[in-house]
């Protein structure tokens, strides 16, 4: 089975390298030649465009930034649809809106291409050590064919439902992680401004129903004042914007998600966008006397 | 060491029984005689008032509803302060505002009584099986004397800081559990209204950073549509009101906590107050077409 990979950034590069390590024949393309170089050195073939990748492959994976990029890679001039052989499976692993993923999948289907939406969580570290959580939406037959490739990149690979279901699951993940980060930041600032040691509060609560991986891991980093990303605030802002837009489309009230989206907006507006999302603590502290 | 216990409701009764089981001499008082009966049968002595309890004890524990009740038990006519021998330790295990706890402690100190604030989490089940998490504020010397008694009721007993620190920690616990319940309810409603199986979303996310005990435990109960308390929504509403009031007093912005407090208000207003706090899911569903 020949695999293609489009988009070789911070996430895409290690993911593509892990497909190579898995023993697959790999063809890559990225906008910038220097992004392709490490893959070519490792044994991948280079292509001239996503269409050129598609012409040589059974499965094409993409990892880009946003819905317009996915749209261009999949359906634009020189895109996957242009070069695809019948039966090609296209797996987009970017995080985009469920509705956008469904729309792209529907248009690809008209051209004989089957799309899976397969966004990930686990960040750069998970991409490097093949420890990503991969949430997949689409047809089961395509998922079964693609499984071995996805397994090169992640330790938890699940088909959740039809087209868009992977993106819906990722949105739920961003709701839970984003809101919990804010709740921990609020609790820690509340403790500190009440004259109580937030570290002792965290320790006392880890054993009970307040336990979350965010309290344990991100909470410790907050106490250490270690705001290096990790996961940048502007990226979580982008993902919460998807949640808020979907809520608008579906007519859903999501009050804590909406408050969290606003806090990420304020972080980006306050110059905290390039820091980890846990720098929300600094924002809250700054609003109550530092 | 002779122990007293005031307030023998759903939580207080099993807690007092566990002190008896720990081998302590126990004197009890409750407003209603029928609340005292099971304790007297189990070997406790009855008293005529909190002052009467205090006159016979080295440590008096109380477990009542709200700050005015604690105030009455501690400082009212026939209260603990009236009967206390010098050096008495008074441990209030109710959940009240940190500022109220500090104020009561200060007035008791003037009368020679040392107060610990020691609210709990773990609910009725934790009270029955002596598995409560107990968060303590006050002086270390008093905590050391009281530790053996507290250990009869809880498996995790921590001195967090000075007077009020136990209540601050409990408030942080209620922020984390309350906000996380709402985040899980929002994520599940989002998934369902997007046509995706919330159970599959939960399973896919349990292995990653979205993991929380609330997602695991309360999330499963939401999927089972099991809204029996557990912890009633009106009680979480009361606790989030403490958080919001303290935030006002301290000048703190707590956006996800505030949204959560509003959701609990809406639950009580919608007739969901007697259900478990996870019935927030029903509230959100009802706002988006059931």
Q: Using the beta-carbon criterion (under 8 Å), do A255 and B263 form an inter-chain contact?
A: yes
Encode pLDDT of A49-87 as tens digits. 999 999 999 999 999 999 999 999 999 999 999 999 999
Distance (Å) of CA B224 to CA A31, A160, B122, B219, B220: 48, 19, 21, 9, 6
Report pLDDT for A47. 98
| Contact (CB<8Å) A182/B177 | no
Which residue is closest to A283 within chain B, CA to CA? B253
| Contact in structure between A74 and A90 (CB atoms under 8 Å) | yes
Residue-by-residue pLDDT tens, chain B, 290 positions: 999 999 999 999 999 999 999 999 999 999 999 999 999 999 999 999 999 999 999 999 999 999 999 999 999 999 999 999 999 999 999 999 999 999 999 999 999 999 999 999 999 999 999 999 999 999 999 999 999 999 999 999 999 999 999 999 999 999 999 999 999 999 999 999 999 999 999 999 999 999 999 999 999 999 999 999 989 999 999 999 999 999 999 999 999 999 999 999 999 999 999 999 999 999 999 999 87
In B, minimum Cα distance to A168 occurs at B191
Chain B contacts of A276, Cβ < 8 Å? none
Pick left, alpha or beta for residue A94 (phi over 0 → left; psi -120 to 50 → alpha; otherwise beta).
Answer: beta
**Min CA distance, A266 vs chain B (Å)?**
12
SS3 A154: strand
ipTM above 0.95, yes or no: yes
Minimal C-alpha gap between A174 and chain B (Å): 8
Residues of A in contact with B135 (CB under 8 A): 204
Is A230's pLDDT higher than 90? no
Q: CB-CB: which of B165, B175, B191 is closest to A172?
A: B191
The reported pLDDT for the residue numbered B121 is 95
Question: What residues of A are in contact with residue B165 (Cβ under 8 Å)?
Answer: 194-196
- Distance in angstroms (rounded) separating the CA atoms of residues A257 and B248: 22
Predicted pLDDT of residue B290: 74
**Is B92 within 8 Å of B120 (Cβ atoms)?**
no
Q: Is B226 on the interface with A (CB under 8 A)?
A: no
| Residues of chain A positioned with their CB less than 8 A from the CB of B284 | 252-254
Which band of pLDDT confidence, cut at 50, 70 and 90, is reported for residue A289?
confident
- Predicted confidence band at A48 (pLDDT cuts at 50, 70, 90)? very high
Cβ atoms of A87 and A111 closer than 8 Å: no
Closest chain A residue to B285 measured between Cα atoms? A252
Residues facing B6 on adjacent strands: B29, B62
Nearest-10 crossing angle of helices A255-269, B255-269: 160
- Quote the CA–CA distance of B272 and A276 in Å, as a whole number: 38
> What pTM did the predictor assign?
0.96
The reply to whether B290 touches chain A by the CB within 8 Å rule is no
User: pLDDT of A183-216, one tens digit each?
Assistant: 999 999 999 999 999 999 999 999 999 999 999 9
Q: What's the mean pLDDT when you consider all of chain A?
A: 97
Residues of A annotated as catalytic are: 170
> Rounded to a whole number, what is the distance in Å from the CA of A208 to chain B's nearest CA?
7
Angstrom CA distances, B82 to B44, B68, B172, stand at: 22, 17, 33
As a whole number of angstroms, the distance between CA B73 and CA B92 comes to 10
Q: Which of B173, B255, B284 lies at the smallest CB-CB distance from A210?
A: B173
Minimum CA–CA partner of A182 in chain B: B256
- Whether chain A has a CB inside 8 Å of the CB on B21: the answer is no
Give the β-pairing of B45-46 and B59-62: unpaired
Task: Show which of residues 227-256 on chain A sit within 8 Å of chain B, judged by CB atoms.
Answer: 243, 246-247, 250-256
Q: What sign for the dihedral angle of Cα B244, B248, B252, B253?
A: positive
Our CA dihedral for A75, A76, A79, A82, rounded to 10 degrees, sits at: 70
Q: What pLDDT does B278 receive?
A: 98
Q: With contacts defined as CB-CB under 8 Å, which chain A residues touch B180?
A: 176, 179-180, 183, 210, 212
**Does A186 lie at the interface with B, CB-CB under 8 angstroms?**
yes
Chain B CB within 8 Å of residue A125 CB: no
Q: Is B112 left (phi over 0), alpha (psi -120 to 50) or beta?
A: left
**Which positions of B are annotated as active-site residues?**
170
Flag if A205 and B257 touch (Cβ within 8 Å): no
- As beta bridge partners, residue A6 has A29, A62
Whether B136 contacts chain A with CB within 8 A: no
| One-character DSSP codes across A78-90 | T-HHHHPPTT-EE
Angstroms from B288 CA to nearest CA on chain A: 6
Which pair of structure tokens corresponds to residue B164?
A: 């009020």
Burial-class residue A108 by CB neighbours within 10 Å (0-12, 13-18, 19+): buried
User: Does residue B102 belong to the interface with chain A, where contact is any CB pair within 8 Å?
Assistant: no
CA quadruple B165, B169, B170, B174: dihedral, nearest 10: 150
Q: Are strands B132-137 and B120-121 parallel, antiparallel or unpaired?
A: antiparallel
By CA distance, what is B214's nearest residue in A? Answer: A209
Closest chain B CA to residue A247 = B190
Nearest to B182 among A160, A256, A289 (CB): A256
């Amino acid at each position: 089975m020949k695999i293609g990979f489009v988009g070789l950034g911070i996430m895409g590069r290690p993911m593509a390298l892990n497909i190579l390590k898995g023993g697959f024949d790999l063809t890559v393309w990225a906008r910038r030649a220097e992004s392709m170089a490490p893959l070519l050195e490792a044994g991948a073939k280079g292509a001239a465009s996503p269409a050129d990748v598609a012409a040589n492959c059974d499965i094409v994976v993409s990892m880009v930034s946003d819905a317009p990029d996915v749209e261009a890679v999949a359906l634009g001039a020189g895109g996957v649809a242009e070069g695809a052989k019948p039966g090609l499976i296209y797996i987009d692993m970017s995080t985009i809106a469920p509705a956008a993923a469904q729309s792209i999948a529907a248009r690809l289907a008209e051209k004989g291409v089957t799309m899976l939406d397969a966004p990930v969580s686990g960040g750069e570290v998970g991409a490097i050590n093949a420890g990503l959580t991969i949430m997949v939406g689409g047809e089961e037959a395509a998922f079964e064919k693609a499984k071995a490739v996805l397994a090169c990149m992640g330790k938890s690979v699940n088909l959740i439902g039809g087209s868009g279901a992977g993106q819906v699951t990722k949105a739920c993940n961003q709701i839970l992680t984003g809101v919990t980060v804010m709740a921990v930041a609020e609790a820690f600032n509340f403790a500190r401004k009440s004259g109580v040691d937030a570290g002792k509060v965290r320790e006392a609560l880890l054993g009970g129903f307040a336990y979350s991986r965010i309290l344990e891991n991100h909470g410790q980093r907050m106490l250490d004042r270690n705001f290096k990303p990790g996961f940048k605030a502007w990226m979580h802002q982008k993902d919460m914007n998807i949640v808020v837009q979907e809520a608008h489309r579906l007519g859903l009230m999501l009050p804590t998600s909406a408050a969290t989206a606003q806090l990420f907006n304020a972080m980006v507006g306050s110059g905290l966008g390039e820091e980890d999302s846990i720098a929300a603590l600094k924002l809250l502290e700054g609003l109550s006397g530092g």
